Amino acid sequence: METIDIAGSIGLVAMVLLTVNIIIGILISTAYKKTAVWQRLPSKIKAIKLIDVHNYTAYMALSLVLVHFLIIPLDPSSKFSYIHLIQPWSAPHQPLFVTLGLISFLTLLVVIITTQKVIKNKIGTRTWRNIHVISYGTGLLFIVHGLVMDPLLKDRPIDFIDPEKLLVEICALLLIMAFVYRYQYKKKNNK
- What's the average pLDDT block by block, 10 residues per block, for the chain (191 residues)? 90 97 93 86 91 95 95 92 93 94 94 93 92 91 94 90 95 96 88 57
Q: For position 16, what pLDDT does the model report?
A: 97
Q: For position 191, what pLDDT does the model report?
A: 57
Contact 75, 2 (CB under 8 A): yes
Q: For position 190, what pLDDT does the model report?
A: 75
In the chain, domain spans: 3-189
Task: Output the CA–CA distances (angstroms, integers) from residue 16 to 27, 38, 73, 93, 190, in the order listed.
Answer: 17, 23, 23, 24, 30
Task: Output the CA–CA distances (angstroms, integers) from residue 62 to 106, 123, 144, in the order listed.
Answer: 10, 22, 18
Taking the chain, what is the end-to-end CA distance rounded to the nearest angstrom?
48
Task: Output the CA–CA distances (angstroms, integers) from residue 20 to 16, 81, 83, 132, 175, in the order listed.
Answer: 6, 31, 31, 16, 9
Q: For position 36, what pLDDT does the model report?
A: 87
Contact 105, 126 (CB under 8 A): no
Tell me the C-alpha distance between 146 and 8, whole Å: 9
Number of C-beta neighbours around residue 98 at 10 A: 23
